[in-house]
Structure 1
Amino acid sequence: MDVNVNAQVRDPREHINEEPRNDLGDLLAGFFGMTGFMTVVFFGMVIIKYLSE
C-alpha cells in the first residue's frame, strides 16, 4: 500500500510567526499608564467637588 501524502510538517518550537515582544516593558507601561490616568481622574474629581461647593 503506497500512501502519498504531501504534508508540510514543521516543528512548533520554531515560532515562525511570533513577533518579538517586550513583556516587562508592556507591563510597566500599562501599570504606570493606568496609575497616571487614575491620578488625573482623582485630582479632576477633587477639583470638581471643591468648585461645586
Structure 2
Amino acid sequence: MDTNVHFNDARDHVNEEPRNDLFDLIVGVGGMTLFMTVIFAAMVIIKFIISG
C-alpha cells in the first residue's frame, strides 16, 4: 500500500521576499528617529511662540 506524500522542505523559503532585513531595520529606525526629531522641534517652536 503506497501513499503519495508531498511535503515542502522548510529550507526552501518559498514565500520569503528577497530583502535585506538589516537594511529594512536600519531604514525603519532612522526614519522613525527623523520623524520624532521633526515632531520634537515643532513642539519646541510652538512652545516658544505660545509662551511669548
TM-score, normalised by the number of residues in structure 1: 0.78
Which runs of 5 or more residues in structure 1 are unaligned? none
Q: CA RMSD in A?
A: 1.3
Unaligned runs of 5+ in 2: none
Is the radius of gyration larger for structure 1 or structure 2?
Answer: 1
CA-to-partner distance for each residue in 1:2-45, whole Å, 9 max, x for gaps?
2x322212221111222111112111111110110111011100
Q: What percentage of aligned pairs have identical amino acids?
A: 55
Q: Which has the higher helix share?
A: 2
CA distance in 1, matches of 2:38, 2:7: 53
